[in-house]
């Protein structure tokens, strides 16, 4: 495993490098706390974190559209909608998590210091691209595994980005998820 300090210094040499981006995607999906802590401090990784979130949304959109049997146009439209919804939900999730962390738990953090790790925590959603090539029965298992992976990784990202213990990280996740579920319920009942 490469030394994280070397990766941080490599980041200053090439702030948008694809190798570093891929490294961060893979290491974050593998629950590497060092990557999440370095993302918290690296303001140059903000663009990469938004791209990671957009790729996760694209993967969800493409995977879902193909699983319901869409033609090529429908799958591409699903990908575009996935990007939009992924970015919307990601920023909404981040904003709520930021309020919980800074107001409820009284922790000092900038918006993006929390955002970069949270957005990279969506990287396991890229596994949903497998739904494009497998049958619907396996596709639903892939979807479930990807969703749980992202949820657990989100708790891990908050833990490492904020220096929380697992209980406080999980409580942050539960509060934000509860608010989003209530909001979704209200929005769909109108």
Q: How many domains does the chain have?
A: 1
- Give a yes or no: residue 10 inside a domain: no
CA 156 to chain centre: 11
Which residues have C-beta within 8 Å of that of residue 160, sequence separation ≥ 6? Answer: 33, 36, 37, 40, 117
Q: Is residue 91 part of a domain?
A: yes
In this structure, is residue 52 part of a structural domain?
yes
58 part of a folded domain: yes
| 14 occurs within a structural domain | no
Residue 186 CA to residue 179 CA, distance in Å, equals 11
Quote the pTM value: 0.86
**28-87 pLDDT per residue, tens:** 999 999 999 999 999 999 999 999 999 999 999 988 888 777 788 888 999 999 999 999
CA angle 88, 93, 97 (to 5 degrees): 150
Mean pLDDT within 105-130? 93
Give φ, ψ of 90 to 5 degrees. -60, -45
Query: Is 3 a domain residue?
Result: no
Residue 15 in domain: no
Domain, as residue range, for 46: 21-189
Tens of pLDDT, residue by residue over 159-182, are 999 999 999 999 999 999 999 999
């Amino acid at each position: 495993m490469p030394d994280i300090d070397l990766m941080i210094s490599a980041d200053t040499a090439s702030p948008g490098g694809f190798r570093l981006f891929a490294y961060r995607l893979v290491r974050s999906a593998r629950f590497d706390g060092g990557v999440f802590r370095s993302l918290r401090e690296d303001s140059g990784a903000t663009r990469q974190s938004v791209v990671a979130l957009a790729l996760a949304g694209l993967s969800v959109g493409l995977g879902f559209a193909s699983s319901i049997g869409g033609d090529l146009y429908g799958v591409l439209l699903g990908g575009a909608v996935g990007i939009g919804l992924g970015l919307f939900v990601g920023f909404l999730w981040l904003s709520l998590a930021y309020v919980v962390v800074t107001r409820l738990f009284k922790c000092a953090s900038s918006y993006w210091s929390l955002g970069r790790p949270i957005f990279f925590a969506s990287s396991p959603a890229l596994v949903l691209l497998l739904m494009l090539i497998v049958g619907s029965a396996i596709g639903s298992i892939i979807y479930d595994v990807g969703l749980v992976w992202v949820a657990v990784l989100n708790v891990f990202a908050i833990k490492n980005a904020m220096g929380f213990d697992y209980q406080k990280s999980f409580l942050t996740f539960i509060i934000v998820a509860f608010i989003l579920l209530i909001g979704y319920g209200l929005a769909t009942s109108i």
